[in-house]
């Protein structure tokens, strides 16, 4: 069957990138519109394998064009239920990346595809080929799908119309977990799909923490684990609560240890600084620590400017991804902002000091009323100076934290070293950092830096004589 396609299909193409210079056409993505959606329907509603295109086909698109694309699949089968829609939808990312010359990024309303010039030269000239290859993979890899059809839309007006309906479906899925919490369940769910490019990443999905890609919530994980217990989504017995506020559970630690091959053995689901959740690369939002104000900023994929630290989303995403625990950066799904446990170990919303305007608007209903106006966006603060000024003017809670830290420092320091009146400069130092080190005699020493700003131009490592 694969012979009918003018391209190869294999998981080995998953890491293939189609760079701008090699791209024939770009579909959806930040410069256009699009989405992907899977809907469960009854068996008699589907003609298996049917493909419908609304709008121009690939052969009608000019080289270098950026075009809208929506991909809607309908699935049916005895075991198919609406709870499986999100899980199946997420696999469109893998399966389309198996197609040589096609790059698929992100999920839901963030999808972004590129078709390479090479693929076009080899004969890829219709969306039907992509849809038929994708449907074949869905049925091969997810045997509970007995029938599938696909509708691709490239007409902008039609994409916009269907996108607003899709948004209602995504929102309804996310809303389901709102009244369920970690303390109400004994089982969480894990996902290891992204290990193909982030080998030590495990997404831990709880009622209070959606997956990093934002596509899989606790109900979706449950449905997937039920229908395919050996698949990439699996149950995690919660085990004992080790740290309620940080969100540390013995069952999560055990699974993290075994599935990361011992790379890490502790995860605190609601902590930014201590044993944070790993970040693969599919996250919808990156959180970044801003030492100058001791706060956390957040930036999403749609934000194309620079954050107050001078970095773009893509630069910070590069620092964050790869499946490691990176203290100082954290990838999350947007719906985690709506969780009452959102980074609760670090002060929750009181620690948030910057967020792009559009993202703030999206989650504004879940930002506590007493802090919402104190969190600046790109319109209020574009660099560190304007950020500090805004936070002080609005009396953001972090400003009180600076004062408390200064007071504690003053009490601890010998009289001769007590600083004078608090200067603006002194407020913006990093919090205390403790570095355990070994002394020459092996007894160990501990260096404590308080209110220190450290910059290192060069580190020289010399062999001990």
Instruction: Give the interface with ligand SF4 as residue ranges (CB under 6 A).
Output: 90, 191, 193-194, 201, 203, 211-213, 215-216, 280, 282
Residues written for the chain: 465
| Smallest separation, CB 407 to ligand SF4 (Å) | 42
Nearer to ligand SF4, 104 or 351 (CB): 104
* Residue 192 backbone phi and psi in degrees, to 5: -115, 15
Nearer to ligand SF4, 6 or 199 (CB): 199
Nearer to ligand SF4, 201 or 339 (CB): 201
| Smallest separation, CB 107 to ligand SF4 (Å) | 7
Which of left, alpha, beta for 359 (phi over 0: left; psi -120 to 50: alpha)? alpha
| Smallest separation, CB 374 to ligand SF4 (Å) | 31
| Smallest separation, CB 103 to ligand SF4 (Å) | 16
| Smallest separation, CB 90 to ligand SF4 (Å) | 5
Mapped onto helix, strand or coil, the DSSP state of residue 247 is coil
Write the CA distances from 10 to 21, 88, 198, integer angstroms: 23, 19, 19
How distant is the alpha carbon of residue 125 from its chain centre?
33
Q: Is the distance from CB of 250 to CB of 186 less than 8 angstroms? A: no
| Smallest separation, CB 280 to ligand SF4 (Å) | 5
| Smallest separation, CB 232 to ligand SF4 (Å) | 7
Of 261, 271, 270, 236, which is closest to residue 323 (Cα–Cα)? 261
Of 163, 149, 120, 162, which is closest to residue 24 (Cα–Cα)? 120
11/389 Cα distance (integer angstroms): 50
Nearer to ligand SF4, 286 or 353 (CB): 286
277/190 Cα distance (integer angstroms): 12
Nearer to ligand SF4, 194 or 299 (CB): 194
Nearer to ligand SF4, 251 or 281 (CB): 281
Q: Which residue has the tokens 């239920």?
A: 81
User: Residue 191's CB: how many other CB atoms inside 10 A?
Assistant: 27
Q: What is the 3-state secondary structure (H, E, C) of 142-197?
A: CCCCCEEEEEEECCHHHHHHHHHHHHHHHHHHHHCCCCCCHHHCCEEEEECHHHHC
| Smallest separation, CB 16 to ligand SF4 (Å) | 18
| Smallest separation, CB 216 to ligand SF4 (Å) | 4
Nearer to ligand SF4, 232 or 308 (CB): 232
Cα–Cα–Cα angle for 280, 256, 181, rounded to 5 degrees: 85
Nearer to ligand SF4, 216 or 267 (CB): 216
Write the CA distances from 35 to 89, 153, 308, 362, integer angstroms: 11, 10, 30, 18
Nearer to ligand SF4, 215 or 375 (CB): 215
| Smallest separation, CB 217 to ligand SF4 (Å) | 10
* Distance, first Cα to last Cα, the chain: 67
261/268 Cα distance (integer angstroms): 18
Nearer to ligand SF4, 135 or 215 (CB): 215
């Amino acid at each position: 069957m694969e012979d009918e396609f003018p391209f190869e299909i294999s998981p080995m193409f998953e890491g293939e990138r189609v760079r701008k210079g090699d791209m024939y056409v770009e579909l959806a993505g930040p410069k256009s519109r699009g989405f992907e959606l899977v809907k469960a329907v009854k068996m008699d509603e589907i003609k298996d394998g049917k493909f419908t295109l609304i709008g121009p086909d690939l052969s009608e698109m000019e080289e270098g064009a950026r075009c809208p694309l929506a991909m809607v699949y309908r699935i049916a089968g005895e075991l198919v239920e609406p709870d499986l829609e999100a899980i199946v939808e997420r696999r469109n990312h893998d399966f389309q990346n198996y197609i040589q010359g096609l790059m698929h990024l992100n999920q839901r309303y963030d999808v972004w595809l590129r078709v390479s010039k090479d693929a076009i030269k080899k004969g890829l000239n219709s969306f039907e080929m992509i849809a038929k290859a994708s449907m074949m993979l869905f049925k091969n890899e997810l045997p509970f799908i007995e029938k599938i059809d696909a509708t691709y839309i490239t007409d902008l007006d039609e994409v916009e119309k269907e996108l607003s309906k899709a948004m209602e479906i995504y929102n309804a899925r996310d809303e389901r977990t709102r009244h369920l919490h970690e303390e109400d369940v004994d089982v969480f769910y894990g996902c290891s799909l992204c290990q193909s490019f982030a080998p030590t990443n495990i997404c831990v999905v709880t009622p209070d923490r959606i997956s990093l890609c934002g596509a899989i919530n606790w109900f979706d994980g449950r449905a997937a684990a039920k229908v395919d217990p050996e698949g990439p989504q699996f149950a995690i017995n919660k085990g004992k609560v080790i740290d309620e506020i940080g969100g540390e559970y013995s069952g999560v630690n055990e699974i993290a240890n075994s599935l990361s091959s011992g790379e890490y053995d502790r995860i605190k689901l609601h902590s930014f600084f201590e044993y944070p959740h790993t970040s693969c690369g599919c996250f919808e939002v990156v959180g970044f620590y801003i030492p100058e104000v001791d706060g956390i900023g957040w930036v999403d994929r749609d934000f194309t400017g620079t954050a107050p630290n001078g970095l773009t989303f893509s630069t910070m995403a590069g620092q964050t991804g790869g499946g490691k625990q990176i203290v100082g950066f954290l990838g999350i799904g947007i719906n985690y902002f709506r969780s009452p446990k959102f980074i609760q170990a670090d002060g929750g919303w009181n620690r948030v000091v910057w967020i792009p305007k559009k993202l703030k608007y999206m989650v504004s209903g879940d930002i506590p009323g007493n802090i919402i106006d104190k969190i600046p966006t790109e319109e209020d603060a574009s660099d560190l100076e304007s950020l500090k000024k805004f936070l002080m003017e609005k009396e953001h809670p972090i400003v009180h934290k600076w004062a408390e830290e200064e007071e504690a420092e003053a009490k601890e320091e010998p009289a001769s070293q007590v600083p004078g009146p608090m200067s603006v400069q002194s407020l913006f130092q990093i919090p205390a950092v403790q570095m355990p080190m070994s002394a020459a005699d092996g007894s160990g020493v501990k260096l404590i830096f308080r209110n220190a700003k450290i910059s290192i131009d060069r580190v020289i490592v010399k062999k001990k004589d």
